[in-house]
């Protein structure tokens, strides 16, 4: 593929170059829309066309100074961080359980645990909107809740709508499949004799986990955590249904912005997000390399 052998005829050459051209066009289609908006975010006028009349940072200034965006950034970070912690912890532990070979019902369990990734977001969001409005009541603990209200422990029904904890658990539930998938993938080919060796050398299970298992699954954990983080950071449909104005996240705020009147501030935010995803992508790539290296060592 890299160099054409000398025997390839005209037809073969034509095909070779036109194929490359087609692929180039497709890759161009993939990347250009994202790149096009970056310069436009520095436009001095609120238009979305080239050539730009001048360059300015005013839209970035707007993004940094407008308290609406400030709140959105703060909310997004809080929600994503906590959702990631929950998802990564639960997902890693579950993946360790699932990695046991020939566990009965394993594929069914896996299918269930991964389904949050597959269920259309609107369905998840609407179901959550119903349930999160009164989770205690729906779970059959309405009486306990009433008693707690009577005793003055809580002033109202415990709800998960219009507050950050609701968004956090919802996003955590969405993020877990990614962690399960990535950690399970790291555990494929995991050498269980390492655990036995560690135990044989006198380590208790906790020490074994932190000293042997964890370093080996860490790349999977981190890449799962990155997926969980970006899932939460990028999620808008659930925020649309569960968040009130005070809980607007960045994507939710962008959605409103696009709906009402798309301003270049959105493009400034988008640019920041693109840079952010480049950073994420880079760290993921470095992780992958590290993982391959460690795999190579354990195989040797």
Partner 1 sequence: MTDTTASNADDPMADQGTLKQRLAKAERRNKLRAYGLVLPLFIFSAIFFFFPIGLMMFNSIDNPLVANAVPKTVEALKTQWDSRKDTLPPEEVYATFGKEFHDLDRLTQSRMARRMNFENAGLLTLVRRTGSRLNALGKETEGGLDAITDWKTTLIEVDGRWGDAEVWATMRNIGDPITGNYYLNALDLRRDKHGEITTVDENRSIYIDVAVRTFWISGLVTFFCILLGYPVSFLLANLPMRYSNLLMILVLLPFWTSLLVRTTAWIVVLQDQGVLNDVLIFLHLIPDRVQLIYNRFGVIVSMTHILLPFMILPIYSVMKNINPSHVRAARSLGATQWTAFWRVYFPQSVPGIGAGGLLVFILALGYYITPALVGGPTDQMTSYFIADHTERSLNWGLASALGGILLASVLAIYLLYNRFVGIDNMKLG
Residues in region 23-82 near partner 1 by CB under 8 A: 23, 26-27, 29-34, 36-37, 40, 47-50
Measuring CA to CA, how many Å separate 292 from each of 218, 243, 279?
A: 12, 41, 20
- Whichever of 118 and 201 has its CB closer to partner 1, that residue is 118
* 267 touching partner 1, by CB under 8 A: yes
Residue 197 engages partner 1 in binding (rule: CB under 8 A): no
CA atoms within 13 A on the CB side of 174: 31
Q: Closest CB to partner 1 among 16 and 74?
A: 16
Residue from the set 64, 93, 144, 147 that interacts with partner 1 by CB under 8 A? 93
- Shortest distance (Å) from residue 65 CB to partner 1: 21
What is the smallest separation between the CB atom of 59 and partner 1, expressed in angstroms? 13
Q: For partner 1, give the closer residue by CB, 48 or 190.
A: 48
Residues 190 and 100: their CA atoms lie apart, in Å, by: 10
Q: How far is the CB of 79 from partner 1 (least distance, A)?
A: 14
**Minimum distance from CB of 152 to partner 1 (Å)?**
26
Separation of alpha carbons 217 and 117, rounded Å: 22
Is 221 a residue that touches partner 1 (CB under 8 A)?
Answer: no
Min separation Cβ 147 and partner 1, Å = 21
Rounded-to-integer distance, Cα 270 and Cα 41, Å: 9
| Minimum separation from the CB atom of position 182 to partner 1 (A) | 6
Name the E strands within 120-245.
none
DSSP summary character for residue 116: G
| Interatomic CA distance for residues 150 and 143, integer angstroms | 10
Other CB atoms within a 10 A radius of the CB of residue 191 amount to: 12
Residues 123-182 that bind partner 1 (CB under 8 A): 123-132, 135, 138-139, 169-170, 172-174, 176, 178, 180-182
Q: Which of 208, 233, 243, 247 binds partner 1 (CB under 8 A)?
A: 233
At 178, list the tokens. 């990614």
Tokens of 106: 């394993």
> What Cα–Cα distance (Å) separates residue 193 from each residue in 102, 212, 238?
17, 11, 44
- Residue closer to partner 1 by CB (options 139, 197) is 139
Residue 81 or 257: which CB sits closer to partner 1? Answer: 257
CB-nearer residue toward partner 1: 104 or 152: 104
C-beta of 212: minimal distance to partner 1 in Å?
16
Q: What is the C-alpha to C-alpha distance for residues 78 and 165, in angstroms, rounded to an integer?
A: 10
Angle between helices 58-65 and 67-98 (to 10 degrees): 70
Give the nearer residue to partner 1 in terms of CB position, either 151 or 275.
Answer: 275
């Amino acid at each position: 593929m890299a160099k054409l052998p000398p025997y390839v005829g005209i037809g073969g050459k034509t095909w070779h170059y036109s194929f490359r051209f087609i692929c180039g066009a497709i890759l161009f289609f993939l990347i250009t829309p994202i790149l096009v908006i970056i310069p436009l975010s520095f436009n001095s006028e609120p238009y979305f066309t080239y050539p730009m009349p001048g360059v300015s940072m005013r839209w970035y200034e707007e993004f940094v100074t407008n308290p609406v965006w400030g709140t959105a950034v703060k909310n997004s970070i809080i929600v994503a961080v906590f959702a990631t912690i929950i998802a990564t912890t639960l997902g890693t532990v579950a993946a360790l359980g699932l990695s046991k070979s020939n566990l009965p019902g394993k594929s069914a369990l896996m299918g269930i645990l991964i389904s949050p990734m597959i269920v259309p977001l609107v369905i998840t969001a609407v179901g959550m909107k119903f349930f999160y409005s009164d989770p205690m009541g729906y779970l059959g603990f309405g009486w306990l809740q009433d008693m707690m209200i009577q005793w003055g422990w809580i002033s109202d029904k415990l709800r998960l709508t219009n507050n950050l904890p609701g968004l956090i658990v919802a996003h955590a539930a969405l993020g877990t499949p990614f962690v399960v998938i990535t950690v399970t993938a790291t555990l494929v080919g995991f050498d269980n004799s390492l655990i036995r060796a560690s135990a044989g050398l006198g380590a208790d299970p906790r020490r074994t986990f932190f000293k042997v298992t964890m370093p080996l699954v860490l790349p999977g954990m981190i890449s799962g955590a990155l997926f969980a983080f970006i899932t939460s950071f990028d999620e808008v449909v659930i925020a649309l249904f569960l968040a009130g104005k005070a809980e607007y996240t960045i994507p939710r705020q962008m959605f409103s912005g696009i709906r009402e009147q798309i301003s270049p501030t959105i493009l400034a935010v988008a640019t920041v997000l693109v840079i952010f995803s480049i950073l994420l992508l880079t760290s993921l790539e470095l992780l992958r390399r590290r993982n391959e290296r460690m795999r190579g060592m354990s195989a040797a």
